[in-house]
Amino acid sequence: MKTKSRKTKDIVDLVQPAVRGLAAYHIDETSVRVKLDAMENPFLLPDSIGKEIGKAAQRALINRYPDPSAKKLKQAIARYWKMDPARMLLGNGSDELIQAVILAFGGPVVAPSPSFAMYEITALALSQKVVTVPLTNEFGLDADAVIKAAKRSKAKVIFLACPNNPTGNRFSDAAVRKVLEKVDAAVVIDEAYVSFSGKTFLPFLKMHRNMIILRTLSKIGLAGLRIGVLTASKEIIGELNKIRLPYNINTLSQAAGLVALKHASTLNKQISLLISERRKLYNALLRTPGVTPFPTETNFILMWIERDATKVFQALKKRGILVKNLDQPGPLKGCLRVTIGTPAENKEFLKTLKQIL
Ligand code: PMP
């Protein structure tokens, strides 16, 4: 036994120190009645579209490798989001595209904090240095501080989630454009929540050779398909294509994504409903004593809870409602993040929260 445990230890010693030092991205896998933790669209597609997806899956040639460049799906996404298919790259979720960008450009990587955790986790996993720059007190982008940090560290990539997760706000156009203009690094503008803000930096793509836009089909109702989208100059796409895994979008995701986008109007209606639910929930939270919701242009609301937020999180979970607990020392102390659910789920969340408080 002694020898065995020593061997186990030795093999783990071979793992890169940067990886050994990492904490895995935390996903709460508790099975709950009301799941409001992961910014998913709570609505399934109607049965008729589900059946169409079933038929497409039946026809799919799963004995063959997928179309390596996912041509048809890329074209459908290009039509939906008015992008140029020649300047696009698809990924197994935008998570994979974040990894591809860091693989291609390397580090140091600069990102505001708090922001989406995967920028830092992925950079560290690839043994790259990370420099985080605090947001302002109102969760705004401190453009000068980002530019300074990028110059000082000789950053290769800067990630700006816009709107930002987990704060929910969109950085000002002026601040983002200032960063784009003043740094030598590649600037990734992560528009995962663009459908809920209605505002995009896409028109600026032609003006900035260092700009990369990232999007995802996850938040609009297709999280299970894992389809991320990147658009940038042809030169950047050419480089990223060299390191992309050859068959990264599987055949069934390509087939299902194509059918779903044929019915984009159904997805868009769900998004509109979620936006109106967001307004209702936000206003109700504003009126709830002991709760301060922060302005949002996403499908989630960050809120500060006067009472012990971790206890409130646990009490919600005990009653079958899962939100994201962000209550840790730092700017998000006392904060929880709730994803906008169906009207019934939002009502139940609000009622239960009030009972707990
Ligand atoms: N970017 C941001 C800002 C996100 O919040 C998320 C999901 N939480 C992602 C990217 C990753 O999305 P996916 O991998 O599902 O495309």
With a CB cutoff of 8 Å and minimum separation 6, the contacts of 83 are 77, 202, 229, 231
1 has a pLDDT exceeding 90:
no
b/e sequence 321-343, b meaning 16+ C-beta within 10 Å: bbbbbbbeeeebebbbbbbbbbe
Nearest CA to ligand 1 atom 1: 192
The reply to whether 56 falls in a domain is no
What is the predicted pLDDT for the residue at 4? 56
* 225 Cβ inside 6 Å of ligand 1: no
Shortest CA distance to 218 belongs to which of 240, 195, 245, 247?
195
User: Of the candidates 186, 50, 214, 33, which has an alpha carbon nearest to the alpha carbon of residue 118?
Assistant: 214
| Torsional sign, CA 13, 16, 17, 23 | negative
Residues 193 and 301 in one domain: no
Whether pLDDT at 26 is above 80:
no
Residue 241 and residue 120 share a domain: yes
Backbone angles phi, psi at 35, to 5 degrees: -100, 105
Among the candidates 239, 262, 285, a domain finishes at 262
In a domain, 6, yes or no: no
Considering the domain architecture, whether residues 269 and 349 belong to the same structural domain is answered as yes
Q: Is the pLDDT of residue 142 over 90?
A: yes
Q: How many whole angstroms from 192 Cα to the centroid of ligand 1?
A: 6
Q: What is the pLDDT of residues 259-282, one digit of tens each?
A: 999 999 999 999 999 999 999 999
Span 149-207, pLDDT tens digits: 999 999 999 999 999 999 999 999 999 999 999 999 999 999 999 999 999 999 999 99
Is 93 a pocket residue for ligand 1 (Cβ < 6 Å)?
Answer: yes
Residue having the nearest C-alpha atom to atom 2 of ligand 1: 192
Instruction: Tell me, yes or no, whether 90 lies in a domain.
Output: yes
* Cα 33 to Cα 31: distance, rounded to the nearest angstrom: 7
Same domain, 352 and 218: no
- pLDDT of 248 > 70? The answer is yes
Strands 157-161 and 186-190: what pairing? parallel
User: Is the full-model pTM beyond 0.85?
Assistant: yes
Chain segment 217-228, per-residue pLDDT in tens: 999 999 999 999
Predicted confidence at residue 30, as pLDDT, reads 85
CA distances from 180 to 137, 152, 176, 184 (A): 22, 16, 6, 8
Q: How far, in Å, from the CA of 206 to the mean position of ligand 1?
A: 24
CA nearest ligand 1 atom 6, residue: 192
Mean pLDDT of the chain: 95
Q: How far is CA 15 from the centre of its chain?
A: 28
Total tally of structural domains belonging to the chain: 2
Reported as a pLDDT band with limits 50, 70 and 90, residue 7 is low
Distance (Å) from CA 330 to ligand 1 centroid: 22
Indicate if 80 and 226 belong to the same structural domain: yes
Tokens linked to 67: 């179309």
Q: Ligand 1 in contact with 91 (CB < 6 A)?
A: no
Band the pLDDT of 138: cuts 50, 70, 90. very high
CATH number at residue 170: 3.40.640.10
| Relative orientation angle of helices 117-125 and 94-105, to the nearest 10 degrees | 50
Q: How many CA atoms lie within 13 A of 203 on its CB side?
A: 3
Same domain, 145 and 246: yes
Look at residue 54 and tell me if it is in a domain. Answer: no
Q: Which domain holds residue 157?
A: 61-262
CATH number at residue 352: 3.90.1150.10
